[in-house]
């Protein structure tokens, strides 16, 4: 979305003065002398100026409009412990049988009892929240991204497929690529002068931090932990180049004139022509190394850097404003949308375009020979909304830009970024090829356009389109498996400074009751409608609480990490099989709306699960469903068919009932 226990805990509420006040005595009172310490603080002028946490190396925002905006955002709150524990029990209830739920309830009561471990950890977490710009930001970046050692390809980085163009040969590919580059640089001007429109959710302004970590950013592999470097508007280094990949070769293109004005699309086109000429024959696919397991890639990266030539090339790639990949021809087969989704997710494999990539690059745009265009982005600096805002601007620009013309002005020569490879590096490349090809063959992608209706229909029924789609997905899954599953929907917490996401849990007691009723012919239609509305309202309420900083998943993670950092044993609550089941998201979902018929795609987060992303338009719905072929339990085509039927059933139910 773009999200009480019968125990004696300190209960908190937000007053109209934006103060968090204790309603009764408890652990929070013991870490401060007065209520003023509980104020939800903003980062105003008297406090430390905004800067990115240290793990975003170089991300500093200079004084200006955006810095002033960031300083006025509230900090992410720490929800009340009792509230989180009660909501946790409600969330796991549909996933557990009676005996399992009784066991989990006892663990929750023990954890949350007065004077117990939960209160102690809550107090420590609240203290952390008072001392930091965000109690969660560094924990989340490391836990979700930089400490995660699986390959970024398919497991972290999404692909975005934009509406395909119609190219007739390579020259049209290059002309469109030149327009694309110019449009992206046009957007970067807004980033540099801090004139990007500030996002809002209702009347609330949102954190814009992620927008300033998109350009000139790159993930750097480590043997145990990665880092992210950002050469943003406030950095001492101001990159003036992009990197273009073609035939597995990399080139640095200077895209500004001597006055720091972006070059014209005609000059950029002339440079791209030279890149293609200089890279007529493919090179060893060094870029495919970025698809490896992070520990493995970290070791190889260290080897590469020992050579001065390699070090200079790596430095140029890391600092580049973004990367442009000019791909070779791809045979589309019967499902061209699925083929494009694969191309944008991973390049299609070692025999196609996967070596023509640098998957660590935050922004990596692709232009195919047949009009396939889109983006692969490394996820650690940002979620989907800033990416889609950038892409929408790029598409607007390309649709309005004049035709590219030949120029008599000689642009600066593209600079080749060579790599020196020895036997160890070549062996690592061969291994990376094999490993990636296994993953590519295992990933099933099913892009679907549901043409029967769009978000206009649920709006006509006074229902939230996002909640409607989420409940339809619950019904689709239930039709196939006859049980619910833990479901993750990304809910933005950007109402708060440095906010990222929390989990909207779409599987609920209410959604399960509705699904059971829909599969029971004995339940009257009127009762089914009432259950549907109840499930949708329940989801909407949970989503609103989540985007307001009252989600449970990040709070529970914070309590767990607080215990670990304090040198304590992991609390039993987090060792419970119910907690493991609650985090085994067989449905991992995200709504990423766009003004164009673009769709975002990502892989499942568990071996027996699905990835599900959607872009709801007014009169149709765009989905992309992913699953692993190696799982006998999943089938993206079957889930797509079940979702199609569920959407039809729900419309028929509501339409029929409205006529009665």
Percentage of the chain beyond pLDDT 70 is 90
How confident is the model at residue 17, as a pLDDT?
32
> What count of other Cβ atoms lies within 10 Å of the Cβ of residue 339?
21
Largest CA distance in the chain: 79
How confident is the model at residue 402, as a pLDDT?
87
How confident is the model at residue 2, as a pLDDT?
54
Per-residue pLDDT at 660 exceeds 70: no
How confident is the model at residue 201, as a pLDDT?
86
Per-residue pLDDT at 418 exceeds 50: yes
6 in catalytic set: no
How confident is the model at residue 489, as a pLDDT?
97
Per-residue pLDDT at 456 exceeds 60: yes
Looking at 19-33, 201-215, 629-643, which range is the least confident one?
A: 19-33
Q: Is the pTM of this model over 0.75?
A: yes
Residue 73 CA to residue 209 CA, distance in Å, equals 11
> Under 8 Å CB-to-CB from 308, ≥6 apart: which residues?
none
Q: Read off the pLDDT of residues 67-121 as tens digits, 9 standing for 90 and up.
A: 778 888 999 999 999 999 999 999 999 999 999 999 999 999 999 999 999 999 9
Annotated active-site residue in 246, 342, 379, 497: 379
Q: In which residue are the tokens 């998109």 written?
A: 214
Residues 578-606: what's their mean pLDDT? 95
Residue 107: its H or E element: helix 98-112
CB-CB contact of 353 with 324 (8 Å):
no
Residue 21 CA to residue 296 CA, distance in Å, equals 49
How confident is the model at residue 52, as a pLDDT?
45
Per-residue pLDDT at 297 exceeds 50: yes
Looking at 193-197, 309-313, 645-649, which range is the least confident one?
A: 193-197
Looking at 57-66, 79-88, 464-473, 635-644, which range is the least confident one?
A: 57-66
Q: Where are the beta strands (DSSP E) in 335-455?
A: 363-367, 373-377, 415-416, 443-450
Residue 660 CA to residue 655 CA, distance in Å, equals 9
Residue 418: its H or E element: none
Q: Read off the pLDDT of residues 161-184 as tens digits, 9 standing for 90 and up.
A: 999 999 988 999 999 999 999 999
The residue among 15 and 209 whose pLDDT is bigger is 209
In the DSSP assignment, the letter for residue 534 is H
How confident is the model at residue 41, as a pLDDT?
33
Per-residue pLDDT at 62 exceeds 80: no
Please provide the average confidence, as pLDDT, over all residues in the chain: 89
Contacts by residues 268-273 (CB-CB < 8 Å, ≥ 24 positions apart): 268/178, 268/181, 268/182, 268/411, 269/174, 269/175, 269/177, 269/178, 269/404, 269/407, 270/406, 270/407, 270/409, 270/410, 270/411, 271/411, 271/412, 271/414, 272/174, 272/177, 272/178, 272/244, 272/326, 273/174
Per-residue pLDDT at 28 exceeds 70: no
Q: Read off the pLDDT of residues 625-642 as tens digits, 9 standing for 90 and up.
A: 999 999 999 999 999 999
> Under 8 Å CB-to-CB from 343, ≥6 apart: which residues?
159, 327, 330, 352, 353, 366, 368, 372, 374
> What count of other Cβ atoms lies within 10 Å of the Cβ of residue 522?
6
Residue 339 CA to residue 296 CA, distance in Å, equals 29
How confident is the model at residue 169, as a pLDDT?
84
Q: Read off the pLDDT of residues 223-241 as tens digits, 9 standing for 90 and up.
A: 999 999 998 776 778 899 9
Per-residue pLDDT at 503 exceeds 70: yes
Per-residue pLDDT at 585 exceeds 80: yes
């Amino acid at each position: 979305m773009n999200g009480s226990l019968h125990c004696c805990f300190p209960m908190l509420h937000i007053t109209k003065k934006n103060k968090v006040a204790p309603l009764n005595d408890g652990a929070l009172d013991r870490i401060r002398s007065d209520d003023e310490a509980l104020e939800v603080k903003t980062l105003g002028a008297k406090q430390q100026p905004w800067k990115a946490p240290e793990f975003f190396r170089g991300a500093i925002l200079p004084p200006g409009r955006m810095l002033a905006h960031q300083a006025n955002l509230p900090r992410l709150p720490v929800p009340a412990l009792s509230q989180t524990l009660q909501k946790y029990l409600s969330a796991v209830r549909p996933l557990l049988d009676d005996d399992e739920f009784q066991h989990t309830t006892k663990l929750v009561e023990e954890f949350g009892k007065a004077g117990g471990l939960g209160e102690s950890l809550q107090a420590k977490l609240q203290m952390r929240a008072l001392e930091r710009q965000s109690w969660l930001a560094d924990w989340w970046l490391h836990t979700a991204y930089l400490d995660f050692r699986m390959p970024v390809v398919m497991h972290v980085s999404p692909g975005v497929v934009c509406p395909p163009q119609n190219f007739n040969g390579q020259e049209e590919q290059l002309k469109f690529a030149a327009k694309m580059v110019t449009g992206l640089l046009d957007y970067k001007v807004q980033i540099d002068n801090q004139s990007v429109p500030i996002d809002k959710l209702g009347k609330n302004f949102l954190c814009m931090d992620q927008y300033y970590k998109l350009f000139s950013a790159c993930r750097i592999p480590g043997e145990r932990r990665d880092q992210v470097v950002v050469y943003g508007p406030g950095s001492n280094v101001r990159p003036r180049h992009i990197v273009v990949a073609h035939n597995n070769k990399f080139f640095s293109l200077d895209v500004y004139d001597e006055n720091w004005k972006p070059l014209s699309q005609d000059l950029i086109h002339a440079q791209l022509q030279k890149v293609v000429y200089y890279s007529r024959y493919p090179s060893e696919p060094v870029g495919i190394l970025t698809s490896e397991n992070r520990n493995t890639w970290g070791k190889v990266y260290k080897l590469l850097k020992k050579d001065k030539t390699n070090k200079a090339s790596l430095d140029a790639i890391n600092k580049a404003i973004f990367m442009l990949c000019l791909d070779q021809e791809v045979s589309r087969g019967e499902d061209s949308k699925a083929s494009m989704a694969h191309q944008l997710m991973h390049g299609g494999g070692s025999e196609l375009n996967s070596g023509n990539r640098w998957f660590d690059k935050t922004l990596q745009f692709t232009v195919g020979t047949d009009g396939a265009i889109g983006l692969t982005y490394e996820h650690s600096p940002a979620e989907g909304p800033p990416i889609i805002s950038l892409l929408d601007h790029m598409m607007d620009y390309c649709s309005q830009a004049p035709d590219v013309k030949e120029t008599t002005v000689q642009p600066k020569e593209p600079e080749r970024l060579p790599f020196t490879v020895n036997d160890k590096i070549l062996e690592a490349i061969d291994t990376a090829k094999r490993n990636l090809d296994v993953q590519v063959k295992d990933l099933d992608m099913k892009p679907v356009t549901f043409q029967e209706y769009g978000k206009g229909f649920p709006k006509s029924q006074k229902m939230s389109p996002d909640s409607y789609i989420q409940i339809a997905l619950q019904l689709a899954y239930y039709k196939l498996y006859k049980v619910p599953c833990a479901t993750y929907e990304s809910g933005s917490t950007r109402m708060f400074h440095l906010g990222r996401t929390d989990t909207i849990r779409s599987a609920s007691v209410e959604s399960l009751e509705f699904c059971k009723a829909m599969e029971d012919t004995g339940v009257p239609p009127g009762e089914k409608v009432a259950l549907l509305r109840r499930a949708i309202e329940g989801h909407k309420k949970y989503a609103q609480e989540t985007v307001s900083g009252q989600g449970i998943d990040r709070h529970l993670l914070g309590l767990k990490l607080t215990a670990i950092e304090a040198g304590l044993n992991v609390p039993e609550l987090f060792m419970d099989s119910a907690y493991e089941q609650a985090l085994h998201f067989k449905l991992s979902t995200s709504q990423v709306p766009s003004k164009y018929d673009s769709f975002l795609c990502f892989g499942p987060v568990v071996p027996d699960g699905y990835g599900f992303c959607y872009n709801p338009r007014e009169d149709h719905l765009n989905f992309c469903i992913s699953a692993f072929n190696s799982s006998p339990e999943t089938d993206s085509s079957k889930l797509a068919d079940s979702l199609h039927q569920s959407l039809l059933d729900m419309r028929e139910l509501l339409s029929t009932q409205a006529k009665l």
